[in-house]
Amino acid sequence: QVAAVFHGIHVQASRMALTTDVGAATPEEAIENEQKVMLLKLTSQDSSDRTILGGLERAELAQRSHDATAESHSLWKRQGFDDLSSGAMQWKFLLRQLKGSCSIWEGGSTVFDESCLFAKSALIASLLQNRSETENAEQDMAAVSSNITVKRWKLDLTEGYERQRRRLLPNYEFHGLYNIDEKVDNVKYVDESGLHAIQDEDEAPENAGSVEDYVVRENSAIITPEMEVTADLLKKMNLEKMHEDEDEEDEIMDDDFTGEDTVVLHTQTVCVEDENIQPAKSDDKKDPKTGQVEIHSKETDVDKSIEGEEVDKSNVSASSYDLITGLLKAGDWPEKSYNISRCTGLEVRKALLLWCRNAIYVVDGFEQTDGEGLKGKIKRLKKATTSFQVNIRQHNSDHNDQPIIDKSSNKPKEKTSQDSTEEEITYQHRSQRIAFTDLYSVYRRRYQLQHNALEFYDVNRNGTLIAFSSHDEREEVLSKVLSSPLPSSIFSSSLGGSAINYKKFMNNLRAKITSQWTQGKMTNFDFIMHMNSFAGRTYNDLTQYPVFPWVLSDYDSEEIDLNDPKVYRDFSKPMGAQNDTRVAQFRDRYEALEQSYEMGEGPPPFHYGTHYSCAAYVLYYLMRLEPFSRLALSLQGGKFDVADRLFHNVGASWKSASSENLQDVRELIPEFFYLSDFVVNSNMFDFGTTQSGKTVHDVTLPAWAKGDPKRFIRIHRQALESDHVSKNLHRWLDLIFGYKQRGHEAVTSLNTFVHVTYEGQVDLDSIEDPIERNSIIAQIQNFGQTPSRLERRPFPQRIVVSAIRGSTFDFNSLPSLANLTPPFCLVGAPQHIYLRCGAVDTCRIGMAGQMDSSVGDLMYTKGQLVGVGKTCALLLPSKKYIRYGGPNNGVSVHVAVTTARHREVNKVLSIHDGMHRGPITVAKPSLNGLWLATGGIDSTVRLWKYYGQNMQLQATLCGHCGKITCLDISTTFGSIISGGADGKILVWDLRTLTFLRELKHTSNAPTAAHAGSSKSFSVKSVSINHKNGNMVTLLLSTLCVFDINGNLVAKQHPDEVFSGNQIPSVVISTNCPEWMELGIVAVTGHMNGDVRLWGIDYENKILLLRHILPERVHSCPITTLRATGERQDTLLIGDASGKMSVCNTVKLDQLSPEELQSIAPHVDVAPDIENDEEFR
Please give the backbone phi and psi of residue 466, each rounded to the nearest 5 degrees, phi first: -130, 145
Please give the backbone phi and psi of residue 700, each rounded to the nearest 5 degrees, phi first: -75, 125
The DSSP 8-state label assigned to residue 325 in this structure reads: G
From 361-365, 489-493, 787-791, the region with the lowest mean pLDDT: 489-493
3-state secondary structure labels for all residues of 248-293: HCCCCCCCCCCCCCCCCCCCCCCECCCHHHCCCCCCEEECCCCCCE
What is the band of 50 on the pLDDT scale with cuts at 50, 70, 90? Answer: low
What is the band of 381 on the pLDDT scale with cuts at 50, 70, 90? Answer: confident
Closest C-alpha among 1024, 1046, 1027 to residue 926: 1024
Top pLDDT among 719 and 761 is at 719
Q: What is the pLDDT of residue 497?
A: 54
Q: What is the pLDDT of residue 767?
A: 80
Q: What is the pLDDT of residue 1103?
A: 94
Long-range contacts, 198-204 (Cβ 8 Å, 24+):
198/389, 198/390, 198/391, 198/402, 198/403, 198/405, 198/410, 198/639, 199/410, 199/411, 199/637, 199/638, 199/639, 200/407, 200/410, 200/411, 202/407, 203/411
From 320-334, 456-470, 829-843, 957-971, the region with the lowest mean pLDDT: 320-334
Examine the pLDDT at 189 and tell me if it is beyond 50. Answer: no
Top pLDDT among 43 and 659 is at 659
Q: What is the pLDDT of residue 150?
A: 67
The pTM of the whole model exceeds 0.75: yes
Mean pLDDT across 426-441: 80
What is the band of 76 on the pLDDT scale with cuts at 50, 70, 90? Answer: low
Q: What is the pLDDT of residue 127?
A: 46
Cα→Cα distances 149→106, 323, 372, 507, 997, Å = 10, 40, 51, 49, 8
Q: How far apart, in whole angstroms, are the C-alpha atoms of residue 46 and residue 68?
A: 26
- Cβ atoms of 922 and 857 within 8 Å: the answer is no
Q: What is the pLDDT of residue 412?
A: 43
Q: What is the pLDDT of residue 1112?
A: 85
What is the band of 293 on the pLDDT scale with cuts at 50, 70, 90? Answer: very low
Mean pLDDT across 516-523: 92
Q: What is the pLDDT of residue 173?
A: 82
Closest C-alpha among 37, 32, 27, 31 to residue 6: 27
Q: What is the pLDDT of residue 215?
A: 36
The DSSP 8-state label assigned to residue 19 in this structure reads: -
Strand boundaries in 365-512, DSSP class E: 366-368, 378-380, 385-387, 390-392, 413-415, 427-429, 431-435, 439-447, 450-458, 463-468
How confident is the model over 1122-1137, as pLDDT tens digits? 999 988 999 999 999 9
Q: Show the DSSP H helices in 625-705 as ranges.
A: 628-635, 650-655
- Residue-averaged pLDDT of the chain: 77
> Residue 288, preceding bond cis, omega within 30 degrees?
no
Q: What is the pLDDT of residue 1164?
A: 64
Mean pLDDT across 675-688: 90
Examine the pLDDT at 258 and tell me if it is beyond 50. Answer: no
- Cβ atoms of 524 and 721 within 8 Å: the answer is yes
Cα→Cα distances 706→28, 557, 684, 711, 807, Å = 78, 11, 22, 8, 37
Q: What is the pLDDT of residue 102?
A: 61
Mean pLDDT across 300-310: 35
The partner residues of 271 in beta bridges, in order of sequence, read 158
What is the band of 377 on the pLDDT scale with cuts at 50, 70, 90? Answer: confident
From 61-65, 353-357, 583-587, 593-597, the region with the lowest mean pLDDT: 61-65
From 48-62, 695-709, 1015-1029, 1039-1053, the region with the lowest mean pLDDT: 48-62
Examine the pLDDT at 427 and tell me if it is beyond 60. Answer: no
Q: What is the pLDDT of residue 584?
A: 92
Q: What is the pLDDT of residue 702?
A: 96
Percentage of the chain beyond pLDDT 90 is: 43
What is the band of 733 on the pLDDT scale with cuts at 50, 70, 90? Answer: very high
Q: What is the pLDDT of residue 1165?
A: 60
Q: How far apart, in whole angstroms, are the C-alpha atoms of residue 1156 and residue 1149?
A: 9
Examine the pLDDT at 1174 and tell me if it is beyond 90. Answer: no
Q: What is the pLDDT of residue 82?
A: 57
Give the SS3 label for residue 12: helix
How confident is the model over 843-892, as pLDDT tens digits? 999 988 788 899 999 999 888 899 999 999 999 999 999 999 999 999 99
- Cβ atoms of 434 and 414 within 8 Å: the answer is no
Q: What is the pLDDT of residue 1076?
A: 93
How confident is the model over 1109-1118, as pLDDT tens digits? 988 899 999 9
Q: What is the pLDDT of residue 831?
A: 87
Residue 897 CB burial class (10 angstroms; 0-12, 13-18, ≥19):
middle
Mean pLDDT across 57-77: 72
3-state helix, strand, coil in the chain (%, to 5): 30, 25, 50
How confident is the model over 456-500, as pLDDT tens digits? 998 888 889 999 988 999 999 999 999 888 888 888 765 555 678
Examine the pLDDT at 342 and tell me if it is beyond 80. Answer: yes
What is the band of 41 on the pLDDT scale with cuts at 50, 70, 90? Answer: low
Q: How far apart, in whole angstroms, are the C-alpha atoms of residue 826 and residue 902?
A: 39
How confident is the model over 1053-1087, as pLDDT tens digits? 888 888 888 999 999 999 999 999 989 999 999 99
Mean pLDDT across 713-726: 95
How confident is the model over 595-643, as pLDDT tens digits? 998 888 888 999 999 999 999 999 999 999 989 998 888 888 888 888 8
Examine the pLDDT at 351 and tell me if it is beyond 80. Answer: yes
Mean pLDDT across 256-262: 32
The full DSSP string for 992-1015 is: TTEEEEEE----SSTTPPPTTSTT
Q: What is the pLDDT of residue 460?
A: 81
